[in-house]
Amino acid sequence: MSLTKDRLVSPILFAIACFSITALFAIGLFIFVEGVPIMMKVGVWEFIGSTDWSPLEGKFGILPMIAGSVAVAAGTLVVAVPFGVGCAIYLSEFASKRTVTIIKPAIELLFAIPSVVYGFVGVLFIVPFVREHLGGAGHGFCILTASFVLGIRVLPVIVGISVDALQAVPKVYRDGSLALGATKWQTTTMVTLRAARSGILAGVILGMANVIGETMAVIMVIGNAVVMPNSPLDSVRTLTSNIALEMGYAEGDHRQALFATGVVLFIITMILNTLTRYVTRSRVGKKK
Protein backbone atom coordinates (compact mmCIF):
# COMPACT_ATOMS: atom_id res chain seq x y z
CA MET A 1 0.00 0.00 0.00
CA SER A 2 1.52 3.28 -1.06
CA LEU A 3 2.35 5.93 1.44
CA THR A 4 0.26 8.56 -0.35
CA LYS A 5 -2.80 6.43 0.12
CA ASP A 6 -1.92 6.09 3.74
CA ARG A 7 -1.68 9.86 4.13
CA LEU A 8 -5.13 10.24 2.62
CA VAL A 9 -6.62 8.19 5.39
CA SER A 10 -6.14 10.74 8.10
CA PRO A 11 -8.11 13.61 6.56
CA ILE A 12 -10.89 11.25 5.48
CA LEU A 13 -11.25 9.91 8.98
CA PHE A 14 -11.15 13.43 10.32
CA ALA A 15 -14.05 14.35 8.08
CA ILE A 16 -15.98 11.31 9.32
CA ALA A 17 -15.22 12.18 12.90
CA CYS A 18 -16.50 15.69 12.40
CA PHE A 19 -19.82 14.26 11.36
CA SER A 20 -21.05 14.05 14.93
CA ILE A 21 -20.50 17.64 15.67
CA THR A 22 -21.94 18.62 12.29
CA ALA A 23 -25.03 16.59 13.01
CA LEU A 24 -25.38 18.16 16.43
CA PHE A 25 -25.05 21.57 14.89
CA ALA A 26 -27.63 20.77 12.22
CA ILE A 27 -30.10 19.49 14.81
CA GLY A 28 -29.66 22.55 16.95
CA LEU A 29 -29.99 24.79 13.93
CA PHE A 30 -33.23 23.26 12.73
CA ILE A 31 -34.88 23.22 16.09
CA PHE A 32 -33.86 26.80 16.72
CA VAL A 33 -34.95 28.01 13.29
CA GLU A 34 -38.36 26.49 13.79
CA GLY A 35 -38.80 27.44 17.39
CA VAL A 36 -37.14 30.76 18.07
CA PRO A 37 -39.43 32.93 15.92
CA ILE A 38 -42.44 32.02 18.00
CA MET A 39 -40.52 32.67 21.18
CA MET A 40 -39.72 36.12 19.90
CA LYS A 41 -43.28 36.68 18.80
CA VAL A 42 -44.75 35.72 22.15
CA GLY A 43 -41.86 37.14 24.10
CA VAL A 44 -39.22 34.94 25.70
CA TRP A 45 -40.20 35.74 29.28
CA GLU A 46 -43.86 35.27 28.47
CA PHE A 47 -43.08 31.91 26.87
CA ILE A 48 -41.04 30.60 29.75
CA GLY A 49 -42.87 32.32 32.53
CA SER A 50 -46.54 32.17 31.71
CA THR A 51 -48.68 29.38 33.04
CA ASP A 52 -51.29 29.72 30.32
CA TRP A 53 -50.93 27.07 27.63
CA SER A 54 -53.87 27.42 25.27
CA PRO A 55 -52.47 26.92 21.80
CA LEU A 56 -55.77 27.30 20.02
CA GLU A 57 -56.07 30.76 21.46
CA GLY A 58 -52.47 31.70 20.79
CA LYS A 59 -51.34 31.49 24.39
CA PHE A 60 -48.04 29.68 24.78
CA GLY A 61 -46.77 29.67 28.31
CA ILE A 62 -44.70 26.60 29.19
CA LEU A 63 -43.94 27.25 32.83
CA PRO A 64 -46.16 24.37 34.00
CA MET A 65 -44.26 22.00 31.73
CA ILE A 66 -40.89 23.23 32.95
CA ALA A 67 -42.14 22.79 36.51
CA GLY A 68 -43.40 19.35 35.57
CA SER A 69 -40.06 18.23 34.14
CA VAL A 70 -38.21 19.61 37.15
CA ALA A 71 -40.64 17.96 39.55
CA VAL A 72 -40.26 14.58 37.88
CA ALA A 73 -36.48 14.94 37.81
CA ALA A 74 -36.44 15.86 41.50
CA GLY A 75 -38.75 13.00 42.40
CA THR A 76 -36.64 10.53 40.44
CA LEU A 77 -33.56 11.88 42.18
CA VAL A 78 -35.08 11.05 45.54
CA VAL A 79 -35.86 7.52 44.42
CA ALA A 80 -32.88 6.70 42.25
CA VAL A 81 -29.94 8.29 44.03
CA PRO A 82 -30.02 6.42 47.35
CA PHE A 83 -31.02 3.28 45.51
CA GLY A 84 -28.39 3.70 42.81
CA VAL A 85 -25.50 4.82 44.93
CA GLY A 86 -26.32 2.10 47.40
CA CYS A 87 -26.19 -0.54 44.68
CA ALA A 88 -22.96 0.92 43.37
CA ILE A 89 -21.35 0.82 46.80
CA TYR A 90 -22.44 -2.74 47.25
CA LEU A 91 -21.13 -3.82 43.86
CA SER A 92 -17.86 -2.01 44.20
CA GLU A 93 -16.95 -2.56 47.82
CA PHE A 94 -18.81 -5.45 49.32
CA ALA A 95 -19.88 -7.92 46.71
CA SER A 96 -17.93 -10.97 45.73
CA LYS A 97 -16.73 -11.26 42.16
CA ARG A 98 -19.33 -13.85 41.38
CA THR A 99 -22.19 -11.75 42.72
CA VAL A 100 -21.01 -8.87 40.61
CA THR A 101 -21.14 -10.91 37.42
CA ILE A 102 -24.79 -11.65 38.13
CA ILE A 103 -25.99 -8.33 39.48
CA LYS A 104 -24.16 -5.87 37.25
CA PRO A 105 -25.52 -7.21 33.95
CA ALA A 106 -28.95 -7.44 35.51
CA ILE A 107 -28.89 -3.78 36.38
CA GLU A 108 -27.59 -2.88 32.94
CA LEU A 109 -30.44 -4.85 31.42
CA LEU A 110 -32.88 -2.51 33.16
CA PHE A 111 -31.75 0.19 30.77
CA ALA A 112 -32.24 -1.97 27.71
CA ILE A 113 -35.93 -2.47 28.41
CA PRO A 114 -37.84 -0.09 26.15
CA SER A 115 -39.49 2.81 27.91
CA VAL A 116 -42.87 1.86 26.49
CA VAL A 117 -42.72 -1.36 28.48
CA TYR A 118 -41.95 0.67 31.61
CA GLY A 119 -44.95 2.86 30.89
CA PHE A 120 -47.10 -0.21 30.38
CA VAL A 121 -46.11 -1.84 33.64
CA GLY A 122 -46.46 1.50 35.39
CA VAL A 123 -50.02 1.92 34.16
CA LEU A 124 -50.91 -1.64 35.04
CA PHE A 125 -49.54 -1.72 38.56
CA ILE A 126 -48.21 1.50 39.98
CA VAL A 127 -51.01 3.82 38.90
CA PRO A 128 -53.77 1.77 40.56
CA PHE A 129 -51.57 1.19 43.62
CA VAL A 130 -51.00 4.90 44.12
CA ARG A 131 -54.63 5.65 43.40
CA GLU A 132 -55.97 3.18 45.95
CA HIS A 133 -53.48 3.70 48.74
CA LEU A 134 -52.44 7.29 48.36
CA GLY A 135 -55.24 8.96 46.46
CA GLY A 136 -54.40 12.43 45.32
CA ALA A 137 -55.57 14.81 42.65
CA GLY A 138 -53.98 12.79 39.92
CA HIS A 139 -55.87 9.59 40.70
CA GLY A 140 -52.70 7.61 40.39
CA PHE A 141 -51.38 9.48 37.36
CA CYS A 142 -48.88 11.67 39.12
CA ILE A 143 -45.32 12.74 39.76
CA LEU A 144 -44.81 10.03 42.35
CA THR A 145 -45.71 7.27 39.90
CA ALA A 146 -43.46 8.72 37.23
CA SER A 147 -40.59 9.11 39.69
CA PHE A 148 -40.92 5.50 40.69
CA VAL A 149 -41.01 4.17 37.16
CA LEU A 150 -38.21 6.41 35.88
CA GLY A 151 -36.17 5.77 39.00
CA ILE A 152 -35.90 2.13 38.02
CA ARG A 153 -35.24 2.97 34.40
CA VAL A 154 -32.44 5.40 35.10
CA LEU A 155 -30.87 3.30 37.86
CA PRO A 156 -28.31 1.66 35.55
CA VAL A 157 -26.93 5.05 34.51
CA ILE A 158 -26.28 6.09 38.08
CA VAL A 159 -25.01 2.67 39.12
CA GLY A 160 -22.69 2.34 36.13
CA ILE A 161 -20.99 5.67 36.54
CA SER A 162 -20.85 5.48 40.32
CA VAL A 163 -19.24 2.05 40.20
CA ASP A 164 -16.63 3.40 37.81
CA ALA A 165 -16.04 6.36 40.08
CA LEU A 166 -15.68 4.15 43.14
CA GLN A 167 -13.38 1.74 41.34
CA ALA A 168 -11.23 4.66 40.26
CA VAL A 169 -10.42 5.55 43.84
CA PRO A 170 -6.87 4.29 44.41
CA LYS A 171 -6.55 1.23 46.53
CA VAL A 172 -4.10 2.97 48.83
CA TYR A 173 -6.88 5.21 50.15
CA ARG A 174 -8.83 2.21 51.39
CA ASP A 175 -5.75 0.39 52.62
CA GLY A 176 -4.64 3.42 54.58
CA SER A 177 -7.99 3.74 56.27
CA LEU A 178 -8.20 0.04 57.09
CA ALA A 179 -4.67 0.14 58.44
CA LEU A 180 -5.80 2.82 60.85
CA GLY A 181 -8.37 0.41 62.22
CA ALA A 182 -11.53 1.52 60.49
CA THR A 183 -14.13 -1.01 59.45
CA LYS A 184 -14.89 -1.50 55.78
CA TRP A 185 -18.11 0.44 56.11
CA GLN A 186 -16.40 3.34 57.87
CA THR A 187 -13.76 3.34 55.16
CA THR A 188 -16.39 3.43 52.49
CA THR A 189 -18.38 6.29 53.93
CA MET A 190 -15.57 8.41 55.22
CA VAL A 191 -12.90 7.86 52.60
CA THR A 192 -13.92 6.14 49.37
CA LEU A 193 -17.26 7.83 48.89
CA ARG A 194 -15.81 11.20 49.55
CA ALA A 195 -13.04 10.62 47.04
CA ALA A 196 -15.45 9.40 44.39
CA ARG A 197 -17.84 12.25 45.09
CA SER A 198 -17.49 14.14 41.82
CA GLY A 199 -17.75 11.01 39.71
CA ILE A 200 -20.94 10.00 41.47
CA LEU A 201 -22.26 13.51 41.03
CA ALA A 202 -21.54 13.28 37.32
CA GLY A 203 -23.52 10.06 37.20
CA VAL A 204 -26.44 11.65 38.97
CA ILE A 205 -26.48 14.64 36.64
CA LEU A 206 -26.36 12.36 33.62
CA GLY A 207 -29.21 10.36 35.09
CA MET A 208 -31.25 13.52 35.50
CA ALA A 209 -30.53 14.50 31.90
CA ASN A 210 -31.88 11.10 30.92
CA VAL A 211 -35.02 11.64 32.98
CA ILE A 212 -35.71 15.04 31.47
CA GLY A 213 -35.37 13.57 28.01
CA GLU A 214 -37.63 10.60 28.72
CA THR A 215 -40.88 10.63 26.82
CA MET A 216 -42.85 7.44 26.37
CA ALA A 217 -42.88 6.10 29.89
CA VAL A 218 -43.80 9.52 31.21
CA ILE A 219 -46.72 10.14 28.87
CA MET A 220 -48.41 6.95 29.98
CA VAL A 221 -48.27 7.48 33.72
CA ILE A 222 -48.27 11.15 34.44
CA GLY A 223 -51.71 12.39 33.52
CA ASN A 224 -50.53 15.30 31.42
CA ALA A 225 -52.58 17.99 33.09
CA VAL A 226 -51.29 21.50 32.49
CA VAL A 227 -50.99 22.66 36.07
CA MET A 228 -48.27 23.81 38.41
CA PRO A 229 -47.59 20.91 40.75
CA ASN A 230 -48.58 21.31 44.38
CA SER A 231 -47.91 17.84 45.63
CA PRO A 232 -46.24 14.69 44.40
CA LEU A 233 -49.68 13.23 43.91
CA ASP A 234 -50.62 15.84 41.33
CA SER A 235 -50.74 15.11 37.66
CA VAL A 236 -48.40 17.29 35.60
CA ARG A 237 -47.07 17.54 32.08
CA THR A 238 -43.42 17.47 31.17
CA LEU A 239 -41.74 19.28 28.28
CA THR A 240 -41.27 16.01 26.46
CA SER A 241 -44.84 14.79 26.79
CA ASN A 242 -46.08 18.19 25.68
CA ILE A 243 -44.27 17.79 22.39
CA ALA A 244 -45.26 14.17 21.89
CA LEU A 245 -48.92 14.73 22.75
CA GLU A 246 -49.66 17.66 20.54
CA MET A 247 -47.24 17.27 17.65
CA GLY A 248 -49.66 15.23 15.63
CA TYR A 249 -52.31 17.88 15.69
CA ALA A 250 -50.32 21.05 15.63
CA GLU A 251 -49.94 23.47 12.78
CA GLY A 252 -48.61 26.94 12.27
CA ASP A 253 -47.96 28.77 15.52
CA HIS A 254 -48.88 25.77 17.61
CA ARG A 255 -46.31 23.57 15.89
CA GLN A 256 -43.65 26.24 16.19
CA ALA A 257 -44.41 26.54 19.88
CA LEU A 258 -43.77 22.82 20.22
CA PHE A 259 -40.44 23.26 18.47
CA ALA A 260 -39.74 26.10 20.86
CA THR A 261 -40.42 23.62 23.68
CA GLY A 262 -37.85 21.44 21.95
CA VAL A 263 -35.42 24.35 22.04
CA VAL A 264 -35.86 24.70 25.78
CA LEU A 265 -35.36 20.94 26.19
CA PHE A 266 -32.28 21.01 24.00
CA ILE A 267 -30.74 23.84 26.00
CA ILE A 268 -31.49 22.18 29.32
CA THR A 269 -29.93 18.89 28.27
CA MET A 270 -26.91 20.65 26.81
CA ILE A 271 -26.38 22.48 30.08
CA LEU A 272 -26.71 19.27 32.07
CA ASN A 273 -24.31 17.43 29.76
CA THR A 274 -21.74 20.19 29.93
CA LEU A 275 -22.12 20.20 33.70
CA THR A 276 -21.37 16.47 33.78
CA ARG A 277 -18.16 16.94 31.84
CA TYR A 278 -17.15 19.88 33.97
CA VAL A 279 -17.64 17.86 37.12
CA THR A 280 -15.61 14.93 35.81
CA ARG A 281 -12.88 17.19 34.56
CA SER A 282 -12.43 18.84 37.90
CA ARG A 283 -12.14 15.42 39.47
CA VAL A 284 -9.33 14.48 37.10
CA GLY A 285 -7.69 17.78 37.91
CA LYS A 286 -7.90 17.14 41.63
CA LYS A 287 -6.28 13.75 41.31
CA LYS A 288 -3.11 15.24 39.88
Partner 1 sequence: MRRLNPQKAELIAKGVLLLFAGTAVVALVAIVGYVVVKGVWVINLEFLFGRPRSMGREGGILPFIVSSIYLTAISLLVSIPLGLGSAIYLTEYTTEGWATKAIRFGVDCLAGVPSIVLGLFGFMFFVRLLNFGWSILSGSLTVSLMILPFIIRSSEEAIRAVPQSYREVAFATGGTKWQSVTRVVLPCALPGIMTGIVLAIGKCVGETASVIFTAGTSLRVPGSIFDSGRTLAIHFYLLVRETGASDMAYGSAATLLISILIVNFFAYWLMRRFIARVS
Partner 2 sequence: MKIRVYQALLVLACVSLALGIGGGCSRRTGRQEGRIRIVGSTSVFPFVEMLAEAYEETKPAVRVDVQAGGSTVGIVSVRDGICDIGTSSRELRDAEKNGVTIIEIARDGIAIIVHPSNKLDSLTKKQIRDIYAKKITNWKGLGGDDASIAFVTREEGSGTRGAFDEIVMGQDTRISPSGLVQDSNGSIREAVATSPHAIGYISLALVNEKVRAIKVDGAAPTHENLAEGKYPVVRPFLFVIKGQPKGQVKEFIDFVLGPKGQEVLSKEGLLSPVVK
Asked if 16 interacts with partner 2 (CB under 8 A), we say no
Strands 53-54 and 59-60, bridge-based pairing: antiparallel
In the complex, the smallest distance separating the C-beta of residue 226 from partner 2, rounded to whole angstroms, is 4
Return the one option of partner 1, partner 2, none that residue 91 interacts with (CB less than 5 to 8 A, by type). partner 1
Q: How far is CA 33 from the centre of its chain?
A: 25
Q: Report the partner that residue 258 touches, choosing among partner 2, partner 1, none (CB closer than 5 to 8 A by kind).
A: partner 1
With CB under 5 to 8 Å by kind, the binding choice for 249 among partner 2, partner 1, none is partner 2
CB of 120 to partner 2, least distance (A): 11
3-class SS string, the chain: CCHHHHHHHHHHHHHHHHHHHHHHHHHHHHHHHHHHHHHHHHCHHHHHHCCCEEHHHCEECCHHHHHHHHHHHHHHHHHHHHHHHHHHHHHHHHCCHHHHHHHHHHHHHHHHCCHHHHHHHHHHHHHHHHHHHHCCCCCCCCHHHHHHHHHHHHHHHHHHHHHHHHHHCCHHHHHHHHHCCCCHHHHHHHHHHHHCHHHHHHHHHHHHHHHHHCCHHHHHHCECCCCCCCCCCCCECCHHHHHHHHHHHCCCHHHHHHHHHHHHHHHHHHHHHHHHHHHHHHHHHHHC
| Smallest separation (angstroms) from partner 1 to the CB of 29 | 9
Judged by CB under 8 A, the chain residues 229 through 248 that form the site for partner 2 are 235, 237, 244-248
In whole angstroms, the minimum distance from the beta carbon of 190 to partner 1 comes to 11
- Cβ nearer to partner 2, comparing 49 with 86: 49
Q: Is 64 exposed, middle or buried (0-12, 13-18, 19+ CB in 10 A)?
A: buried
Nearer Cβ to partner 2, position 127 or 196? 127
164 is a site residue for partner 2 (CB under 8 A)? no
Does 224 help bind partner 2 (rule: CB under 8 A)? yes
- The item of partner 2, partner 1, none sharing an interface with residue 235, based on CB under 5 to 8 Å by kind, is partner 2
Q: Does residue number 127 form part of the binding site for partner 2 (CB under 8 A)?
A: yes
Q: Does 178 participate in binding partner 2 (rule CB under 8 A)?
A: no
Q: Which is nearer to partner 2, 36 or 123 (CB)?
A: 123
Q: Identify what 140 binds: partner 1, partner 2, none; CB under 5 to 8 Å per kind.
A: partner 2
Among 74, 139, 167, 213, binds partner 2 (CB under 8 A): 139
Q: Select from partner 1, partner 2, none the partner in contact with residue 55, using the beta carbon and a kind-dependent cut-off of 5 to 8 Å.
A: partner 2
**Min dist. Cβ of residue 213 to partner 1 (A):** 3
Sign of the Cα torsion 53, 56, 59, 60 reads positive
Q: CA 208, CA 74: separation in Å to the nearest integer?
A: 8
Residue 282 binding partner per list partner 1, partner 2, none, with a CB distance cut-off of 5 to 8 Å that depends on partner kind? none
Give the residues lining the site for partner 2 (CB under 8 A): 53-56, 64, 123, 127-128, 131, 137-141, 219-220, 223-227, 235, 237, 244-251, 254
